[in-house]
Amino acid sequence: MIETLRWFAVAFGLVLALGGPVAPARAAEPLTWDQALQQARGETVYWNAWAGDERINAYIAWVGERVKALYGITVEQVKLTDTAEAVSRVLAEKAAGKTEDGSVDLVWINGENFATMKENGLLYGPFVRELPNFALVDTRDKPTTLVDFTVPTEGLEAPWGMAKINFIYDSARVHDTPGSIPAFADWAEAHPGRFTYPAPPDFIGSTFLKQVLIELTADADQLQKPVASDSQFARVTAPLWAYLDRLHPSLWRGGRVFPASGPAELQLLDDGELDVAISFYPSEAQSLIDNGRLPKTARVFVLDDGTIGNTHFVAIPFNARAKAAAMVVADFLMSPEAQARKQDPQYWGDDTVLAMDRLTPQQRALFTAIKSGPASLPPDRLGPVLLEPHPTWMTRIEAEWARRYGG
């Protein structure tokens, strides 16, 4: 966490030194799809992606194998502990006048990191409209494929997965699950040491804080707009801090330490140190069971009034060296082949961004062949999707959490 905050300090220091957000350079017209295909062969894409889950790393490696075979593109994963590392690097390159041959070709991104890159003119495009597979994306019933934490994507990032908070528990030990955030505190007090959440800015831990805030604030609509003032932030988030002050003594290790990541928390569940853990992929429990990393008694529940859901994306920095190949990789990630493999719990368990009614019968068959297993909730039991707050809330919440509880 300290290292991530140091990256943010570097980024914001550069912004302040330049007198505010870095002004966008005049964007060149993005490549057409035909141009991208012609130029992509032989290029190497340095894909900066969070590397905290070996299943995801294996999936990215498979993507590299497929685009090498199909298009002659090499993919090198630059493994990150936090996406802010890549954002800071691109921001530093722009501040130094490095407008070509940048070190990042593709980045897995959403939320406050996308908002920062968009505001500071760090993104190439709009390029998504040129990608053939974008026509298969369900932009109607999955509106977060076009709006990222309230910020319109405007063709600057390509959707490639859907996520939604759910809770994994061991049904051999837990028989009554909480249905709300207030009920979670009651449950934790009745079962001390059997629940925790990852330390922010890990995205699982940060999203849990947003879930708490949405449920407890008197006016959740405020969260859909940027933070207006220090006094507003203090007023709106006061219930969050009061809740955490009550919850933490009942957490694993008394809330004095926190797991570093979602996978680390799930390992505690597998080890029997926790009874409940947080996931952001509704099929993750079954995936981990299938891979021998959770007991067969693991099951999933959600909260009665809904949980936060969003879309995650890939984007191309303005100064990427291999823009053409990055476009081709982004398009492959939206292909039925890549989307079906990603939704399969055997490989990842991440929900698709595609609309089934836009696929051919053969393409739909890739999805119907997926075995969900007993630990996967069907879509009609996942409950309502709650919208992400504006990124300015999360940036400040993470900083305040670190001040209060970071040690």
Q: Is the pLDDT of residue 263 over 60?
A: yes
- How far is residue 325 from each of residues 44, 119, 122, 229, measured CA to CA in Å? 7, 25, 18, 42
Residue 230: partners with Cβ closer than 8 Å, 6 or more residues away: none
Clarify whether residues 339 and 235 are in a common domain.
no
Clarify whether residues 28 and 88 are in a common domain.
yes
pLDDT, average across residues 236-253: 98
Residue-level pLDDT at 158: 98
Structural domain harbouring 151 = 2-160+312-372
Residue-level pLDDT at 174: 96
Kindly state whether residue 333 falls inside one of the protein's structural domains.
yes
Residue keyed to tokens 């939320």: 111
Clarify whether residues 155 and 224 are in a common domain.
no
DSSP H or E run through 129: none
Residue 310: pLDDT band with limits 50, 70, 90: very high
Whether the bond between 126 and the residue before it is cis, its omega within 30 degrees of 0, is: yes
| Cα–Cα distance measured from residue 121 to residue 315, given in angstroms and rounded to the nearest whole number | 12
Residue 2: pLDDT band with limits 50, 70, 90: very low
pLDDT digits (tens, 9 = 90+) for 344-368: 988 988 899 999 999 999 999 999 9
Clarify whether residues 148 and 171 are in a common domain.
no
Clarify whether residues 9 and 119 are in a common domain.
yes
Residue-level pLDDT at 28: 63
CATH number of the domain that 282 lies in? 3.40.190.10
Give 10 or 223, the one with higher predicted confidence.
223
Kindly state whether residue 343 falls inside one of the protein's structural domains.
yes
Clarify whether residues 53 and 152 are in a common domain.
yes
Kindly state whether residue 393 falls inside one of the protein's structural domains.
yes
Q: With contact defined as beta carbons under 8 Å apart, do 178 and 275 qualify? A: no
Clarify whether residues 147 and 179 are in a common domain.
no
pLDDT, average across residues 120-144: 95
Q: Is the pLDDT of residue 26 over 50?
A: no
For residue 58 the two structure tokens come to 């294996």
Clarify whether residues 170 and 292 are in a common domain.
yes
pLDDT, average across residues 93-101: 96
Give the distance from CA 163 to its chain's centroid: 7
Residue 166: pLDDT band with limits 50, 70, 90: very high
- Please state the domain count of the chain: 2
Residue-level pLDDT at 400: 97
Clarify whether residues 279 and 264 are in a common domain.
yes
High-pLDDT (> 90) share of the chain, %: 81
Buried b (16+ CB within 10 A) or exposed e, 181-220: beebbebbeeeeebbbbbbbbbbbbbbbbbbbbbbbbeee
- Residue type at 212? V
Clarify whether residues 126 and 11 are in a common domain.
yes
Clarify whether residues 365 and 393 are in a common domain.
no
Kindly state whether residue 381 falls inside one of the protein's structural domains.
no
